[in-house]
Structure 1
Amino acid sequence: MKKRALISVSNKENIAEFAKGLISLGYEIISTGGTLRLIQEAGIEAENVDSITDFPEILDGRVKTLHPNVHGGLLAKRDNADHEKQLQENNIDPIDLVVVNLYPFKETLAKLGVSDEEIVENIDIGGPTMLRAAAKNFRDVTVVVDPADYESVLEGLKQQNVNVAKRQQLAAKVFRHTAHYDAMIARYFTEQTRETFPETYTVTYEKVQSLRYGENPHQKAAFYREAQSTTLSLASSEQLHGKELSYNNIQDANAALEMVAEYEEPAVVAVKHMNPCGIGLADTISHAFQRAYDADPVSIFGGIIACNREVDEATAEQLSALFLEIVMAPSFTEKAFDILTQKKNIRLLTVEMTKDDQVYNKLTTVKGGALVQNSDQGQVTEEQLTCPTERQPSKEEIADLLFSWKAVKHVKSNAIVLAKDKQTIGIGAGQMNRVGAAKIAIEQADSKTKGAVLASDAFFPMPDTVETAAASGITAIIQPGGSKRDQDSIDACNKHGIAMVFTNMRHFKH
């Protein structure tokens, strides 16, 4: 008896060539719909699936392969005498190879103006059912879901080395594929029904690349992206030049993108180890870079730069004078690109910088589990600030307070940011106590603290941070407020003539 292959694909790339290869190896081909037409138009002999089901395609194609003559042929164990007997009694022939890929659900979701009805109609039912049946019976059935495997499978069939181990490998790929497909569908319906944290939480990602190593050379790592791409995402960026990104590069670059996205004016952010070492705003991107550089000219060495405007020639000249790992921007002028690519290893990335305020879920794994929370999209406007101190902040101080509040949100707790004239001048990150973070920021700022403002990611349980700030000439403070001992800090501010505003929002970052 000839072996039989069932082919039904949405992605028809190279399917005619694969079918020709199967015919040359003695396979009979069964197919459906558009796949059947394509194969036959290529001069390849193939039967319609209804020739084995003896039942027409119905319900606009919703039902065509959901039939015992198909699934009996897929699921029967070849070494089971009872299964063999039942196949004979029901006139069912075995199916030895299945080639199926699914309706383009992801691509349909991405279409502009797509209707819910079209999305639902692109949920494949028969395809996943055939794939799962064939993959379950991998000991007897070869199943192919990825066009990239056509060549190796054909070669293996020619060499008669598509053994159980290879079929199991192909089956594993099938179950990953259907799980990915179902996860996208589950996400769509979950979003439609506005369920934030459902009883089961299924996420899926697509591999971008394997990485040379992880956080350290002895750790393995890979980079994955969400199935639905978004703006302001490193996973959707295009690398124009330089070595491939490392695990730490990706972490730092993502942090830089989240920071630069906070600002509407031309902004440049310099990042080291996921903390900003300098942030500058200005009327031009070149001037903004100079402010970011001047904020900490030491730590920027080997850093990551994110710009929210096109990099021009003047900015490129400034950047090229430094050793930098990555420069990201919406675009680079031709002259800027020519200047920067003279450095062999610098990585240049373009990223869509369209602001996206949509709240998304952040996933953090712990051993044996995961934490899921909404992203911190919290924003504060001038109108939302409250001022409990005798002195009110000036207009210029308000601008710097709001600027520094956006910056401190992205600094590891305990966090303190000092700023003046829309430039960070000192940053204290990740300390075990707040006054320690303040001292680090003040030391880094050196002599620039007079007339500067201070932002804290959380409230002051004691007045010591205010006292430290006052001794350095800081004139205004922004902090969440809400401590039982707020009055102690308010009194300290009043004593030193410091204006302090409360945001009533904290920005812990662990």
Structure 2
Amino acid sequence: MTDLTPVRRALLSVSDKTGLVELAKTLAARGIELVSTGGTARTMREAGLEVQDVSDLTGFPEMMDGRVKTLHPGVHGGLLALRDDDAHVAAMKEHGIGAIDLLVVNLYPFEETVARGAGYDEAIENIDIGGPAMIRAAAKNHAFVNVVVDVEDYQPLLDELEVHDGRTSYAFRQRLALNAYARTGAYDAAVSAWMADTLGETAPRRRVFAGTLAQTLRYGENPHQGAAFYTDGTARAGISTAEQHQGKELSYNNINDTDAAFELVSEFLPEDGPACAIIKHANPCGVARGASLTEAYSRAFDCDRTSAFGGIVALNQPLDRATAEAIAEIFTEVVIAPGADEGAREVFAAKKNLRLLTTDGLSDPAAGGLAVRQVSGGFLVQDRDNGRIGEWELKTVTKRQPTSEELADLLFAWKVAKHVKSNAIVYVKDGATVGVGAGQMSRVDSTRIAARKSQDMAEALGFSTPLTQGSVVASDAFFPFPDGLLTAAEAGATAVIQPGGSMRDDKVIEAADEAGLAMVFTSMRHFRH
């Protein structure tokens, strides 16, 4: 093997024809012989290029609706033969096999077919067989063969041929092989995941995940950690599909926090009115509804102004100028919304460090999918938490029924609690959070911290009583003892929403009755670790 090897013959067989003609013309201009199949060959001939059919190499026509066309020694021998092995060269000569120096293949659009809801039979027909086989063969023999599986690599290939006068370097072929194996791995992962889902197999024997690099990050959670952002190909609105309009590149923490913010604000439908969520370190520090986006932001900001500094703001409606002006009054890392008008963009243009992201709609909080977390030696997989509770599903367990106003706030608080790290306590009043306690080892500690932050914020705003006075409170899991509930009552809460299910539920209910609280059970827990 020599480092630089010439490209004399190329086999092109692509589903996505983007850039095909331009690539083929440039290769032909270099005197590279073109071999192709079916629709790819037809496209190149229509562009005036001379193309040899694969059937001429194999001696067999394409058959079985195109299922069989490249699975033949005439193709795979040309890809796999070691050019510096005398026995391989002799076998090629004996059987009339010509060397293939470049393979350009992109696979049947299986992922896209499944994504648009195609039926079982159509999905099966879009599982590529010959393509992956050729890709793997060419990638294995990268000592001599170039394999291109992404349109994005067409120009780097042409640049490499230009620099080396029709040859490619070993290092370049190695990188192409890496991309090739990753592509076939991701393709097989998509097929196996679809099969598992179709068959209702919730825990298949082997589980594979794949992603496409979206961004190489400066570092991870900390500067000494390398990091990158990958997308999984789903079209769900959110951080992976958002358009960034300004500001420096998103960091690892920015992406994580922005995702948390957008998932939370998506719990509130635009038609039900403007809503805003402010996130810091993946926990909400303020969530509110309002008559306008500006009011929703202001009310969310007033829950915890200190934590909001340097936070992430998510909105459930397109951003307008007035709201942008309010947000711009303090340092904010990222703003994400389903759109932004010109006035808002003009306001943010003066804030070069602020990132503005827009999406095509909100995430669907009821959508399915998997949540994955790595642990030592493996990973945990679960359904994403898409649980939601309606008013009709609540069970009042106290003597006092919640008022209609309390009930509305209880449901609001429950939606927020789902997105707070456990143990989670959320106080809400008039459609706005007024205290959030997150991530404590003791539920009573979360209750106290949320109440204390509310008191501090009240003092900062010039109020004589804590913001939690007259509020409702949500707990993501049951109160194991009455102490947490009584702490909430002391803070001024008048109604409680919690899952129930504790061995001491009767004691907690008794304490709620004695305190004059209304309490409802959801029978659904929202742990978030």
Fold similarity call, TM over 0.5? yes
1:181-239 CA-to-partner distances (Å, cap 9, x unmatched) read 222222233322222221111111111111111111111111111112213x2101111
Q: Which residue of 2 aligns with 1:436?
A: 445
Q: Which residue of 2 aligns with 1:361?
A: 370
Greater mean alpha carbon deviation, residues 432-441 or residues 97-106? 97-106
* Conservation of the 8 A alpha-carbon contact between 2:316 and 2:362: no
Q: Alignment partner for residue 169 of structure 1, among 175, 196, 210?
A: 175
The yes-or-no answer on 1:346 pairing with 2:354 is yes
Q: Alignment partner for residue 129 of structure 1, among 125, 129, 133?
A: 133
* Conservation of the 8 A alpha-carbon contact between 2:262 and 2:363: no
1:458-510 CA-to-partner distances (Å, cap 9, x unmatched) read 11222111222232222111111111112222222222212222212211111
Q: 1:124-273 residue pairs with structure 2 within 5 A?
A: 124-157=128-161, 159=164, 162-231=168-237, 233-264=238-269, 265=272, 266-273=274-281
> Counterpart of 1:369 in structure 2: which amino acid?
G
Aligned counterparts of 2:287 and 2:410: Cα–Cα separation in 1: 14
Q: Alignment partner for residue 51 of structure 2, among 43, 46, 51?
A: 46
Q: Which residue of 1 aligns with 2:458?
A: none
Q: Alignment partner for residue 277 of structure 1, among 285, 298, 306?
A: 285
Question: Do the aligned partners of residues 150 and 482 (structure 1) sit closer, same or farther apart at CA in structure 2, a change above 3 Å counting?
Answer: closer
Aligned counterparts of 1:137 and 1:372: Cα–Cα separation in 2: 36
Q: Measure how far apart 1:178 and its partner are.
A: 1.2
Q: Which residue of 2 aligns with 1:501?
A: 520
* Conservation of the 8 A alpha-carbon contact between 1:364 and 1:370: yes
- Structure 1 unaligned spans of 5+: none
1:437-478 CA-to-partner distances (Å, cap 9, x unmatched) read 111111111122221111111112221112222322221111
Aligned counterparts of 2:470 and 2:43: Cα–Cα separation in 1: 74
Other structure's SS at 2:219 match: coil
Aligned counterparts of 1:156 and 1:355: Cα–Cα separation in 2: 42
Q: TM-score, normalized by length of structure 2?
A: 0.90
> Counterpart of 2:219 in structure 1: which amino acid?
Y
Aligned counterparts of 2:219 and 2:37: Cα–Cα separation in 1: 45
1:161-188 CA-to-partner distances (Å, cap 9, x unmatched) read 6243332222111111111222222223
Q: Percent identity?
A: 50
Aligned counterparts of 1:106 and 1:2: Cα–Cα separation in 2: 32
> Counterpart of 1:128 in structure 2: which amino acid?
P
Other structure's SS at 2:168 match: coil
> Counterpart of 2:253 in structure 1: which amino acid?
N
Q: Measure how far apart 1:306 and its partner are.
A: 0.7
Aligned counterparts of 2:289 and 2:57: Cα–Cα separation in 1: 70
Question: Do the aligned partners of residues 157 and 372 (structure 1) sit closer, same or farther apart at CA in structure 2, a change above 3 Å counting?
Answer: same
Question: Do the aligned partners of residues 469 and 339 (structure 1) sit closer, same or farther apart at CA in structure 2, a change above 3 Å counting?
Answer: same
Q: Which residue of 1 aligns with 2:430?
A: 421
1:402-443 CA-to-partner distances (Å, cap 9, x unmatched) read 111111111111111111111111111111111111111111
Q: Alignment partner for residue 471 of structure 1, among 468, 487, 490?
A: 490
Aligned counterparts of 1:87 and 1:451: Cα–Cα separation in 2: 86
1:4-57 CA-to-partner distances (Å, cap 9, x unmatched) read 322222333444444444445553332222322333444443322222211111
Q: Alignment partner for residue 321 of structure 1, among 314, 324, 329?
A: 329
Q: Which residue of 2 aligns with 1:103?
A: 108
> Counterpart of 1:375 in structure 2: which amino acid?
R
1:321-355 CA-to-partner distances (Å, cap 9, x unmatched) read 22211111112222222223222221111123345
Aligned counterparts of 1:422 and 1:338: Cα–Cα separation in 2: 30
Aligned counterparts of 1:2 and 1:279: Cα–Cα separation in 2: 60
The yes-or-no answer on 1:398 pairing with 2:402 is no
Q: Measure how far apart 1:70 and its partner are.
A: 1.3
Other structure's SS at 1:35 match: helix
Q: Which residue of 1 aligns with 2:77?
A: 72
* Conservation of the 8 A alpha-carbon contact between 2:338 and 2:362: no
Q: Which residue of 1 aligns with 2:35?
A: 30
Other structure's SS at 2:487 match: helix
Q: Which residue of 1 aligns with 2:98?
A: 93
Q: TM-score, normalized by length of structure 1?
A: 0.93
Question: Do the aligned partners of residues 40 and 466 (structure 1) sit closer, same or farther apart at CA in structure 2, a change above 3 Å counting?
Answer: closer
Aligned counterparts of 1:245 and 1:212: Cα–Cα separation in 2: 9
> Counterpart of 2:429 in structure 1: which amino acid?
K
Question: Do the aligned partners of residues 39 and 214 (structure 1) sit closer, same or farther apart at CA in structure 2, a change above 3 Å counting?
Answer: same
Question: Do the aligned partners of residues 322 and 35 (structure 1) sit closer, same or farther apart at CA in structure 2, a change above 3 Å counting?
Answer: same
* Conservation of the 8 A alpha-carbon contact between 1:237 and 1:352: yes
RMSD: 2.2
Q: Which residue of 1 aligns with 2:389?
A: 380
Other structure's SS at 2:277 match: strand
Q: Measure how far apart 1:394 and its partner are.
A: 1.6
* Conservation of the 8 A alpha-carbon contact between 1:430 and 1:437: yes
Q: Which residue of 2 aligns with 1:452?
A: 471
Other structure's SS at 1:328 match: strand
Aligned counterparts of 2:193 and 2:497: Cα–Cα separation in 1: 39
Question: Do the aligned partners of residues 89 and 341 (structure 1) sit closer, same or farther apart at CA in structure 2, a change above 3 Å counting?
Answer: same
* Conservation of the 8 A alpha-carbon contact between 1:2 and 1:26: no
Aligned counterparts of 1:355 and 1:156: Cα–Cα separation in 2: 42
Greater mean alpha carbon deviation, residues 263-272 or residues 349-358? 349-358
Aligned counterparts of 2:104 and 2:319: Cα–Cα separation in 1: 48
The yes-or-no answer on 1:492 pairing with 2:511 is yes
* Conservation of the 8 A alpha-carbon contact between 2:193 and 2:207: no
* Conservation of the 8 A alpha-carbon contact between 1:261 and 1:353: no
* Conservation of the 8 A alpha-carbon contact between 1:106 and 1:228: no
Question: Do the aligned partners of residues 419 and 156 (structure 1) sit closer, same or farther apart at CA in structure 2, a change above 3 Å counting?
Answer: closer
Q: Measure how far apart 1:361 and its partner are.
A: 0.5
* Conservation of the 8 A alpha-carbon contact between 2:406 and 2:472: yes
Greater mean alpha carbon deviation, residues 207-216 or residues 282-291? 282-291
Other structure's SS at 1:389 match: coil
> Counterpart of 2:234 in structure 1: which amino acid?
Q
Other structure's SS at 2:306 match: coil
Aligned counterparts of 1:448 and 1:147: Cα–Cα separation in 2: 57
Aligned counterparts of 2:53 and 2:448: Cα–Cα separation in 1: 77
> Counterpart of 1:288 in structure 2: which amino acid?
A
Aligned counterparts of 2:447 and 2:385: Cα–Cα separation in 1: 23
Q: Measure how far apart 1:2 and its partner are.
A: 9.6
Greater mean alpha carbon deviation, residues 287-296 or residues 160-169? 160-169
Aligned counterparts of 1:463 and 1:392: Cα–Cα separation in 2: 19
